[in-house]
A and B are shown apart, each in its own frame.
Chain A
Amino acid sequence: MAQPIIQADKLTKRFGDFVATDAITFDVARGEIFGFLGANGAGKTTAMRMLCGLSTPSSGHAQVAGFDVATHPEDVKQNIGYMSQKFSLYENLTVAENITFFGGIYGLRNPVLREKREQLLTRLGLHDVAGKHVGSLPLGWKQKLAFSVAILHDPKIVFLDEPTGGVDPFTRRQFWDLLYHAAAQGITVFVTTHYMDEAEYCNRVSIMVDGRLAALDTPRRLKELYGAASMDDVFYTLARGAQRGE
């Protein structure tokens, strides 16, 4: 097996007495779609923020795309894409302007930038609304756009924090098509979700409970292990033991 693209080793984040993420250890292979599950408050977002170089670990180590997140966060950032829980494109800029801006700050320059912008608009079928303010788009389109912008600079990994909250199953399916497309191009996808049907789409799934990594395997093996019919049941079995709520 090749060198894993993400290696976390006893990665921990404490806020005062509270241990948000408690010594989690795992690897993610290149090109994998890795599902990162857990109840609200289980520590998913905190762990993901550490892996993205947004938050410094209290202890433990993590390497992302070959760089240590604690010592070289800016190198990590050059190699990843990130789509946060909160929609974070500029609503008062147009679709095309958002693409240009985010491409630009990742160092893309014309004519590559122009070409990528065209490709993206074509793939998402957004040519007609390229000149519209992002704020006026339906949520599902915004999410697809945010994802596409996050991978515009061809990162090695893309981190997605609950990317499909609040949209219908059909739109979610379309979104996952985009993820598969990205993965097929060799981009590692690291995704958190509360939808268990989405968990089934992942190559491997980890489940966090109270800041710890309670399970990690393929969806099929997890179901076998817990004698469950669906990922839903696996999640229930594990999350029921959780001590802390939201």
Chain B
Amino acid sequence: MLFFLLQKEFKQIFRNRTILAVVLVMPLIQLIVLPLAADYEVKNINLCIVDNDRSPEAQRLAQQLTASGYFRLTGYTASYRDAQALLEADRADVVLTIPPHFGRALVRDGQQTLSLAVNAINGVKAGLGAAYITTILQTYNNAIRVQWIQPGRFPAAPIVKVAPVYWYNPFLNYRVFMVPGILAVLVTMIGGFLSALNIVQEKEVGTIEQINVSPIKKHYFILGKLLPFWVLGNVVFTLGLLVARVVYGIVPMGSIPLLYGFVTLYLLAILGLGLLISTYCETQQQAMLITFFFMMIFILLGGLFTPLDSMPTWARAVAYASPVTHLIAVMRMIILKGSTAQDVLPAAAIVATFALILNVWAIVNYRKTS
């Protein structure tokens, strides 16, 4: 019985070019494009310098800022009004004002105050821009200190330097962090949408009636829908791993069978969700909207972009109630940290529970007799 169902589903999938394109091309494109674009590193901060001094010291400071590579000098003016105009026109993110007599006063008094105005509409850009400038000023400070203050005249200021060592992602490469997460989202999207739309499509076309009037068992029918997408999900995942390896040189630190084991379990859960949605909907449009709703929440709360630890407690509770959160975490654990089966066991238990509940629910809610 199951054999005939699977044969039919696979034939239909292989004849549907859209599905094939989504399954084969989407992972490639998304994994190649997204990690490059979805980058936390803020570059090209538009900087405007209001230089009221025009001394060599001021120019040296300006040069040091632009040489850092994070800033793009969009204005170098002598009036704050011009800078204000640039800020308003959104052509400056940060305005650094160098006071008159900056160079002379710096030499004379050994200290000077600069003022920084930040366009904070994009909070991340603003925060990081201010932080970068502060860091660069620090370097500048140290440099002039070494230059001007003769050793021994003052006791050297005690400086505590922190020398961080970054584990698991030693060069703080953002892509290393993003790729496993994006791969998790891909598997989720493809599994969730394909399964959610499938049964509904049979409802729309009317073929479901012919299935319902046959003596076929409900669980066979659901299983016949589940297995093909489960195979597809694994194909997508395999493609994704290959892209990660070829394009980003990311080789899983942990065991690959363990990774597949977890993804396999996870797919059962997300496909179960799709099938469940599909048993509640009458049209593909409804199924699409509802699936989209879940996907948005899952992905935004899943810890892909924002760390779970910085969420409010209630949001964290919602996040843990989503299987995607666990997949993203486990992918990063196994691929980047080389975590073992024991480490991912709690997550596996949660995902298995999801899989069981969602699929049983889908079977119960699918009715051959109304």
11 extra A-B contacts, CB within 8 A, seeds A84-B206, A102-B214: A52-B213, A54-B209, A77-B213, A78-B215, A84-B210, A90-B8, A91-B205, A100-B4, A100-B7, A105-B5, A106-B215
Contact with B215, one of A74, A88, A91 (Cβ below 8 angstroms): A74
A residues in contact with B368, CB < 8 Å: 53-54, 73-74, 77
Within 8 A of B (CB), among A65-118: 73-75, 77-78, 80, 82, 84, 86-93, 97, 100-102, 104-107
Asked if A56 contacts B210 (CB within 8 A), the reply is: no
A55 within 8 Å of B (CB atoms): yes
A91 to B16, CA, bound (A): 12
A86 to B213, CA, bound (A): 14
B212 within 8 Å of A (CB atoms): yes
Give 6 closest A-B pairs by Cβ, nearest first. Answer: A104-B4, A86-B206, A82-B213, A78-B215, A88-B210, A77-B215
Asked if B369 contacts A53 (CB within 8 A), the reply is: yes
B107 within 8 Å of A (CB atoms): no
Asked if A101 contacts B8 (CB within 8 A), the reply is: yes
Asked if A56 contacts B370 (CB within 8 A), the reply is: yes
Asked if A92 contacts B15 (CB within 8 A), the reply is: yes
Which applies to chain B's interface (DSSP): helix, strand, loop or mixed? Answer: helix
Within 8 A of B (CB), among A153-183: none
A198 to B12, CA, bound (A): 36
Query: Which residues from chain B sit less than 8 Å from chain A, CB to CB?
Result: 1, 3-5, 7-8, 11-12, 15-16, 205-207, 209-216, 368-370
A residues in contact with B12, CB < 8 Å: 90, 92-93
Contact A84 B209, CB 8 Å, known A54-B370, A56-B370, A105-B5: yes
A55 to B206, CA, bound (A): 16
B residues in contact with A84, CB < 8 Å: 206, 209-210, 213
A84 to B210, CA, bound (A): 8
A residues in contact with B211, CB < 8 Å: 105
A92 to B369, CA, bound (A): 26
CB closest residue in chain A, given B211: A105
A106 to B213, CA, bound (A): 10
A residues in contact with B205, CB < 8 Å: 86, 88, 91
Total number of A residues with any Cβ neighbor in B under 8 Å: 29
A132 to B77, CA, bound (A): 75
B108 CB to nearest chain A CB (Å): 85
CB closest residue in chain B, given A103: B4
B interface footprint on A105-139 (CB within 8 Å = 1, 0 otherwise): 11100000000000000000000000000000000
A residues in contact with B5, CB < 8 Å: 105
B residues in contact with A75, CB < 8 Å: 215
CB closest residue in chain B, given A150: B210
B residues in contact with A91, CB < 8 Å: 205
A residues in contact with B4, CB < 8 Å: 100-101, 104-105
Selected A-B contacts with CB under 8 Å, 27 pairs: A53-B368, A54-B209, A54-B370, A55-B369, A56-B369, A56-B370, A75-B215, A77-B214, A78-B215, A84-B209, A84-B210, A86-B209, A87-B206, A88-B206, A90-B207, A93-B8, A97-B11, A101-B4, A102-B214, A104-B1, A104-B4, A104-B7, A105-B211, A105-B215, A105-B216, A106-B215, A107-B1
